């Protein structure tokens, strides 16, 4: 079926040029002169994209964009050359993409093709969202799919890490081969090795016959190791061998088995922090982290929540064969404002529950559970058993701060060891600096601890010193501190340093 594109006629010259070029590229086009015509056309056709040629500040454009968002239709806006900040305008309006006028007709076609490919990728993977963070994830999936390098996906539970892994596999040359998923946290250490690498008959009590492991079953395809941060140290060593040599031994076996498998790993914790704490091998981390994707939690992309809600409502109304009128604006705002510790998985399950139980065939504010109306703060955090009685959020912050500080100190020590001058490391104490070079004190910005400073003061001082050293270059400052750019940006905002 030919892809259909809607083109508004607010700017007739650009509309005619875009129409001719898109038709020449093989698209079916529909020109609409008003919002009413667009509404009528939407009842007849489901376009792949809508091109708004002008009138972006008018109410009709806002209503058309709202209709497009409800249907997950990509939108391209042509901004006037006099517009001071087209990017900010596009973000405020919810445009998927924008071009500044005078827009080259060939560029319009190229952009529309890219939007259609992106929409199909979302439909194929189930990764829903128009926020910049999700668009970045989709771009990385497209870039990573054709190669065979290992991928590490980081993100909280419920953000869709397996969807990303399946998307990479489905777009790769291995798409016709097996995709095998293993949850490393779901199996005890004694069973995980056998699950991954298989075992020979008689290898242990109960091994009545030879069994192929997941790596053998995935030969030629992709293996997805979920929660890889929970993998026991002994198994980490064997996984490292597979990544280095593409071979392994079955449990109880003596013959090396060669495999051609692409490894995609995922974790809901910071593997870098686990390395710093000695819980994860650094050489394995570097092998896994050849290509990296970060999946943001739902609270960091709230603009996607209305689209997710409407998509899930339509899905479950159809699944349960229930006539459903959607959700009221008040109830939707409650969902947008909630914290969602369980992320997209929690939202999806909640929507299914409300679609089944909502008495009026429409989700009302009263249908939203109390803990969600309270922004999800009443839900427990996952903490070590011995410390659950301590206030969760404060303990989580202190723990992460200590880990990040340890990373900073290790990075500073490494940098000092690489300096050609004589370096003397001094113990942290009241009024003491971290180090001196040739018996001369470091500049004032390098003092990390003084008597009376809190952990937050130490973090702030370290960040300020790193920014001063790198002359404000945030990427280099993050490298100096040994933390990710996202963590640095969060800390800058937290300490009002941005």
Instruction: Give the per-residue pLDDT at 50.
Output: 94
Instruction: Give mean pLDDT, residues 199-217.
Output: 84
Say if residue 46 is in the same domain as residue 100.
yes
Same domain membership, residue 291 and residue 145: yes
Q: What is the pLDDT of residue 124?
A: 83
- What pLDDT sits at residue 388? 37
Mean pLDDT for 433-449 is: 45
Q: For residue 385, what pLDDT is reported?
A: 37
pLDDT band at 448 (very low <50, low <70, confident <90, very high): low
Domain identity same for 160 and 285: yes
221 pLDDT exceeds 50? yes
- Percentage of residues of the chain with pLDDT beyond 70: 84
185 and 274 inside one domain = yes
Task: Establish if 378 belongs to a structural domain.
Answer: no
Instruction: List, for residues 260-282, the tens digit of each pLDDT value.
Output: 999 999 999 888 888 988 889 99
Angle at 292 between CA 289 and CA 293, to 5 degrees: 150
Look at residue 422 in the predicted model and tell me its pLDDT: 40
The range of the structural domain enclosing residue 462 comes to 392-494
Whether the per-residue pLDDT at 145 is higher than 60: the answer is yes
Q: Is the domain of 171 the same as that of 212?
A: yes
Check whether residue 117 and residue 148 sit in a common domain: no
Kindly state whether residues 237 and 152 are assigned to the same domain: yes
Asked if 264 and 178 touch (Cβ cutoff 8 Å), the reply is no
Q: Over 70: is that where the pLDDT of 148 sits?
A: yes
- pLDDT for the residue numbered 427: 40
Q: Is residue 438 part of a domain?
A: yes
Structure tokens at 347: 């939202």
pLDDT confidence of residue 1: 57
**120, 142: one domain:** no
Predicted local confidence at residue 273, as pLDDT? 87
318 and 184 both lie in a single domain? no
pLDDT in tens, 290-319: 999 999 999 999 989 988 998 899 899 989
**Residue-wise pLDDT tens digits, 58-116:** 999 999 998 888 787 889 999 888 888 888 888 788 888 899 998 888 899 999 998 88
């Amino acid at each position: 079926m030919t892809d259909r594109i809607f083109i508004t006629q607010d700017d007739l010259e650009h509309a005619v040029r875009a129409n001719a070029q898109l038709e020449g590229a093989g698209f079916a086009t529909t020109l609409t002169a008003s919002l009413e015509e667009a509404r009528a056309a939407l009842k007849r056709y489901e376009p792949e994209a809508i091109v708004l040629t002008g009138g972006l500040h008018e109410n009709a454009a806002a209503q058309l964009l709202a209709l497009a968002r409800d249907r997950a239709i990509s939108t391209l806006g042509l901004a006037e050359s006099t517009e001071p900040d087209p990017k900010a305008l596009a973000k405020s309006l919810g445009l998927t993409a924008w071009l500044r006028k005078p827009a080259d007709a060939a560029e319009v076609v190229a952009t529309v093709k890219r939007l259609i490919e992106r929409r199909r990728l979302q439909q194929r993977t189930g990764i829903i969202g128009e926020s910049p963070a999700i668009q970045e994830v989709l771009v990385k999936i497209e870039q990573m799919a054709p190669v065979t390098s290992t991928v590490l996906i980081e993100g909280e539970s419920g953000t869709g890490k397996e969807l990303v892994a399946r998307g990479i596999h489905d777009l790769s040359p291995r798409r016709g081969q097996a995709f095998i998923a293993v949850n490393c946290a779901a199996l005890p250490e004694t069973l995980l090795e056998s699950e991954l690498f298989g075992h020979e008959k008689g290898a242990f009590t109960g091994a009545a016959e030879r069994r192929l492991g997941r790596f053998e079953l995935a030969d030629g395809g992709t293996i997805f190791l979920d929660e890889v941060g929970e993998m026991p140290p002994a198994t980490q060593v064997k996984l490292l061998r597979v990544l280095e040599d593409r071979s392994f031994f079955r449990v109880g076996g003596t013959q090396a088995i060669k495999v051609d498998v692409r490894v995609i790993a995922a974790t809901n914790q910071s593997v870098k922090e686990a390395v710093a704490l000695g819980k994860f091998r650094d050489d394995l981390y570097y092998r896994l982290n050849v290509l990296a994707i970060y999946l943001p939690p739902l609270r960091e992309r709230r603009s996607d929540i209305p689209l997710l809600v409407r998509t899930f409502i339509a899905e479950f109304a159809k699944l349960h064969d229930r006539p459903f009128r959607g959700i009221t604006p008040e109830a939707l705002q409650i969902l947008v404002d909630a914290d969602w510790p369980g992320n997209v998985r929690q939202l999806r399950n909640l929507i299914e529950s409300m679609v089944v139980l909502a008495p009026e065939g429409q989700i009302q504010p009263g249908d939203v559970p109390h803990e969600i109306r309270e922004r999800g703060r009443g839900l427990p955090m996952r903490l070590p058993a011995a410390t659950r009685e301590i206030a969760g959020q404060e303990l989580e912050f202190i723990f992460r701060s200590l880990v990040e500080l340890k990373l900073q100190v290790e990075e500073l020590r490494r940098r000092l060891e690489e300096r050609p001058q004589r370096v003397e490391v001094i113990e942290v104490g009241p009024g003491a600096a971290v180090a001196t070079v040739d018996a001369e004190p470091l500049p004032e910005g390098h003092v990390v601890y003084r008597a009376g400073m809190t952990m937050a003061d130490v973090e702030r001082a370290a960040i300020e010193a790193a920014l001063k050293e790198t002359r404000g270059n945030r990427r280099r400052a993050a490298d100096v501190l040994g933390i990710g750019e996202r963590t640095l940006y969060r800390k800058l905002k937290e300490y009002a340093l941005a």
